[in-house]
Amino acid sequence: DESRCPRESVGMARHQDSREGQEPGLRVLLADDDASEAFAIATALRGFGVGVDRAATGDTALAMALHAPYSAVLVAESLPGRDAGILCGRLRERGSASMIVIIGDGVVPDAGALAALGSDDWVRRPVDPAHLAERLRRRGDSGGGHSKQ
């Protein structure tokens, strides 16, 4: 429902925010079709100084990620258009940013399966933005490790 997410549209929900208060170069793409959840995550991450662009479908996320540099791509496990596996695989083929999959609450992650998809890390819903912002800062180029949120 767009009324819960002013300033962002459903199809290509891309919001370029000002860089004031953000860490230089720390910018992520958040691919999540749950508009209220994505809005909450993006707003909170921006509060921690992380630049966030949003995409509501896998196809939109792929197009955005191929045309802009991101520190990481946060992708919901299930997306319309292209799911997390397809999206991670396509971006990994191109040597793109770190991929972090957002899994559902109660889902037992299969680290091997996620890695096979091209995911570098995972976080569980509901996402703790402070934890995620810290993980993003720590990741840098070090990669590896799975977040146990």
Q: What local confidence, expressed as pLDDT, does residue 9 receive?
A: 33
Q: What local confidence, expressed as pLDDT, does residue 40 receive?
A: 96
The residue ranges of DSSP E strands in the chain, in sequence order, are 27-31, 51-55, 72-76, 98-103, 121-124
Q: What local confidence, expressed as pLDDT, does residue 144 receive?
A: 39
Q: What local confidence, expressed as pLDDT, does residue 19 receive?
A: 42
Who contacts 3 (Cβ-Cβ below 8 Å, separation ≥6)?
A: none
The answer, yes or no, to whether residue 142 has pLDDT greater than 90, is: no
pTM above 0.95, yes or no: no
Mean pLDDT of the chain: 78
Contact between 100 and 74 under an 8 Å Cβ cutoff? The reply is yes
- Could you tell me the pLDDT band of residue 96, with boundaries at 50, 70 and 90? low
Q: Please provide the DSSP assignment of 90-110 as one string.
A: HHHHTT-SEEEEEEPTT----
Higher pLDDT, 48 or 15: 48
The mean per-residue pLDDT over the stretch 19-31 comes to: 71
Q: Please provide the DSSP assignment of 29-48 as one string.
A: EEE-S-HHHHHHHHHHHHHT
